[in-house]
Amino acid sequence: MSHLPSSGKNAQAEIIREIRALLPPDAFQPNPRRLLGMGFILVVLFSAHAAVALTGASGWILGPIVVAALALASLALATHELAHGAVLRPGRLQRWCEVIFWTPLLISPTVWRRVHTQAHHAHTNTPRDPDRRYFHDEASTVMRWYVRIFYPNAELFPWNPLVFLHVGPYMARNTLSAFLPAKWQLPMVPSRVDYQPGDAGRIAFELGVMAAFQVGFFHLTGGEWLPYLIMAAGSQALTSAISMGYIFTNHFNNPLSVEVNQIRGSTSVIVPKWADYLHYNFSYHTEHHVFPTLNSDYYPLVSRHLQRLCPGVYQRIPIAQAWQRLWRNAPFIAKPGAPASTAG
């Protein structure tokens, strides 16, 4: 089979159609068996918290923290797949499962749906992407510090560890934005998403569920504040580090464009096989953007087709290499089509 053109909207659509025809029909069917694994992850998570009650605030608490973080990271990436309809068909059951599985991660399902599932995927790596990098004309004093502290870039100091904690500020900025009037926009939100009437009430309910879960974790860890806070802060920080290792390398090394190009605008990374197993093949991120509702078990097959059909455009590189590239980025970029600027 001959190679297809590797650029242009029509060429991309042609590539996607051809790959879709080569995939088995069940690849696009919801995979409810994934819920069994997600339920097991919850059991591991609860068990890690319960183990803290046996150790108190002793040094051995590091073990439960690591176990909880590994469980939370796996849960996040499995729930990401659930939110795209690859586990259950869209509907009330799917929505309630999102509430259950996003809650331990302190993520509002409604915020995630609006920001990621809808806006980010519809506008990937374009000016309307709420997850894009910031433009030069957005470089206020506040934004300069925000980007230098929480985004990998060539300024401030190299390998800044605070970038690994960006999940917290990311969810905080988007959650707060959902409660603001449409005419207001936080400077930290690159592109405001379209929240719907009733979203604020749903998000408030989800925040209440999160609080209830944390009360449960507090009692599981023995009902003492110090062990609970160490466990909560440590596990969430490590989970954020794992997540940001993927999230920053997904798109931040790809140039922005005026039109969505899922292949040019995304990067897949190579990680150890055990990581692909624990993280539901999330490293195959271009494949996910090409087919967001695809069962992630089939991402490697899509990768092989992309390598064959558009080798000059499709990127799948070692995650360490992708991470190193991030630290050569300027903190701010020019808008697509605008003259390049040396300001930063």
**249-261 tens-digit pLDDT:** 999 999 999 999 9
pLDDT for 8: 62
Please check whether residue 49 lies inside any domain of the structure. Answer: yes
Please check whether residue 209 lies inside any domain of the structure. Answer: yes
Smallest Cα–Cα separation from 268: which of 281, 253, 286? 286
Mean pLDDT of the residues in the chain: 92
DSSP assignments along 260-284, one per residue: --TTTT--EEE--HHHHHHTTTTT-
**Is the model's pLDDT at 338 over the cut of 90?**
no
How far is Cα of residue 226 from the mean position of the Cα atoms in its chain? Answer: 30
pLDDT for 47: 95
Please check whether residue 21 lies inside any domain of the structure. Answer: no
Please check whether residue 82 lies inside any domain of the structure. Answer: yes
Residue 252 φ/ψ, nearest 5 degrees: -75, -10
**Is the model's pLDDT at 105 over the cut of 90?**
yes
Determine whether 184 is exposed, middle or buried from the number of CB atoms within 10 Å of its CB (0-12, 13-18, 19+): exposed
Please check whether residue 300 lies inside any domain of the structure. Answer: no
**126-158 tens-digit pLDDT:** 999 999 999 999 999 999 999 989 999 998 777
Please check whether residue 255 lies inside any domain of the structure. Answer: yes
pTM (2 d.p.): 0.91
**168-179 tens-digit pLDDT:** 999 999 999 999
The DSSP letter of residue 28 is: G
**7-55 tens-digit pLDDT:** 466 788 899 999 999 999 999 999 999 999 999 999 999 999 999 988 7
The DSSP letter of residue 294 is: S
Domain around 130: 28-267+320-326
pLDDT for 5: 44
**49-67 tens-digit pLDDT:** 999 988 765 557 889 999 9
Please check whether residue 92 lies inside any domain of the structure. Answer: yes
Alpha carbons 213 and 209: distance in angstroms, whole number: 6
| Mean pLDDT on 111-133 | 96
Please check whether residue 147 lies inside any domain of the structure. Answer: yes
**268-323 tens-digit pLDDT:** 999 999 999 999 999 999 999 999 999 999 999 999 999 999 988 999 999 999 99
Count of domains forming the chain: 1
